[in-house]
Every structure is written in C-alpha cells, then in structure tokens.
Amino acid sequence: MEVVRQVDVVGVRLELPSNQPVLILRDQQATRYLPLWIGTAEATAISLALEGVDPPRPLTHDLLANVIDHLGGQVTSVTVSELVEGTFFATINFLNNDSISARPSDAVALAVRNGVPVFVAQDVMDFAGMDLAIDDDFAPGDAGFGDTDMSQEELEKFRAFLDDIKPDDFS
C-alpha cells in the first residue's frame, strides 16, 4: 500500500520575475512544503475557491464538480501520486474506490471545491519537498502561510523559500 502524507493547500503565489504561478502544499505533520508550478487558469481557479468566491457562471473545475455530483459520484480525496522526469501526476479518488489520473493543479482545484483532503505520496514528498524550518521557531501547528496572523519572520522565510526554488530543481 502506498504511503501518503496529508497536506494543506497553502495557496498560490507568483514566482518573480517570471510571474509563474506556484501552488504551495504544506505537509500537515512536518515543516515540508511541495511547490508545484501550474498554469494561470488553474491558479485562478484554486485561488477563487480558497477565497470562497462563487463565480456567476461555473468555471471549468466548477463544471467538473457539478457533472460528478449530477452523475452520482463523490470525490473523496486527491493524491499527488508520482513525479516522472520532472512532471507531477495526481489521482482523483472516488467513494466507489475508483480513481482517475489528473494534473495536480486540476485535482487540487477540484479538491478545494469539494472540501476533500489532499495527499502527497511519501516518495514524492521525500524527493521534491522542501524543508522550510531553519530552526525550532517554526514548528508544525504554528500559524501557517494561509493564516492571517502569520509573523513577519515566517513571511520572510517563505519569501526566501520562493526566491530559491526553480522548476529545474525537480527535473
């Protein structure tokens, strides 16, 4: 059986100077983060869902969630399952134990809309995850990057983290 880690969807940030969206996932049990470079449309979809914005017309991921629901399906979780030659793969997992392959950005967008957990395979986290903790001041359970009470020190650590990572780090 595959070992997975549950993660929090921290949010989407822009890598400067390229303005490439980066989806940040945080291991719930450790100070490891998984950055995933994603497309602008997916970044927008994830950000809107995280902010609770309900668009007047369904976006693509809203449509997919509506179709799954209408057909009687139920998404139970999504998993970032593999990293092959620098490309991440994910699965969307259903109540009937079926799963389908998806891009991680699409899977996470669907997970956020459905309020279901996001997991990362342990071997993917081990290979591509990055440890942000520099000292014991930043431990699991502390205020996260999505929280409004994030300290200035944590914000600076996060900015330094984003400044140092590049897509080529994962190939």
- Residue-wise pLDDT for 14-32, tens only, equals 888 888 899 999 999 988 9
Residue in this structure with the two tokens 């998806």, named with its chain if needed: 102
What average pLDDT does the chain have?
A: 84
Residue 53, Cα to own-chain centre: how many angstroms? Answer: 18
Residue among 86, 95, 90 nearest 107 (CA): 90
CATH number of 125's domain:
3.10.690.10
Residue 55, Cα to own-chain centre: how many angstroms? Answer: 21
Give the pLDDT confidence score for residue 145 in this predicted structure: 35
Cβ atoms of residues 114 and 152 within 8 Å:
no
- Counted domains in the chain: 1
Alpha-carbon dihedral sign for residues 55, 28, 149, 160: negative
- Residue-wise pLDDT for 110-165, tens only, equals 999 999 999 999 999 999 999 875 433 433 333 333 333 445 665 566 666 666 66
More confident residue, 138 or 107: 107
Residue among 36, 158, 58 nearest 108 (CA): 36
Residue 157, Cα to own-chain centre: how many angstroms? Answer: 19
Question: What is the four-CA torsion angle of 79, 84, 86, 92, rounded to 10 degrees?
Answer: -20
Mean pLDDT, to the nearest integer, of 58-66? 92
Greatest mean pLDDT among 1-5, 44-48, 90-94 lies in 90-94
Complete edge-to-edge strand list for the sheet that includes strand 130-131 = 99-102, 87-94, 75-84, 118-121, 4-15, 20-27, 32-37, 130-131
Per the structure, the complete domain to which residue 69 belongs is given by 4-170
Give the pLDDT confidence score for residue 144 in this predicted structure: 34
Cut 0.75: pTM above it: yes
